[in-house]
Structure 1
Amino acid sequence: MNAVIVGFMAGISIYSTVKNGFGFFTFLPVVFIPFVINSKKVDWELQEELKSRDLK
């Protein structure tokens, strides 16, 4: 699912650049891509911690 979100954001950036040149909507999705990737890492670490404490 995260790959779809990252691909969608990258697609929006590319489409915006081709259609309108550089602007706000060119960089906005690119800014959020690291947050999406980092959220997956945090989720994985949280699941590992819950498993180590035998909570899930």
Structure 2
Amino acid sequence: MDNSGKEIVKYGITFGTALSIAISWSVNKSIVWAIIHGFLSWAYVFWYVFTR
């Protein structure tokens, strides 16, 4: 069994974190909120998409 599934998950988490930080920064211009939203990752991205 190869590790391609694990790599996809790892990159998905990394991309979700970066995306949530970028969205948070563009909306709030606050490093504190960007860090908090980075921890929330995909949850914040989905919340942002569904509330806009």
TM-score range with shorter-chain normalisation?
0.3 to 0.5
Larger relative contact order (CA 8 Å, sep ≥ 6): 2
Q: TM-score by structure 2 length?
A: 0.47
TM-score, normalised by the number of residues in structure 1: 0.45
Query: Of the two, which has the highest radius of gyration?
Result: 1
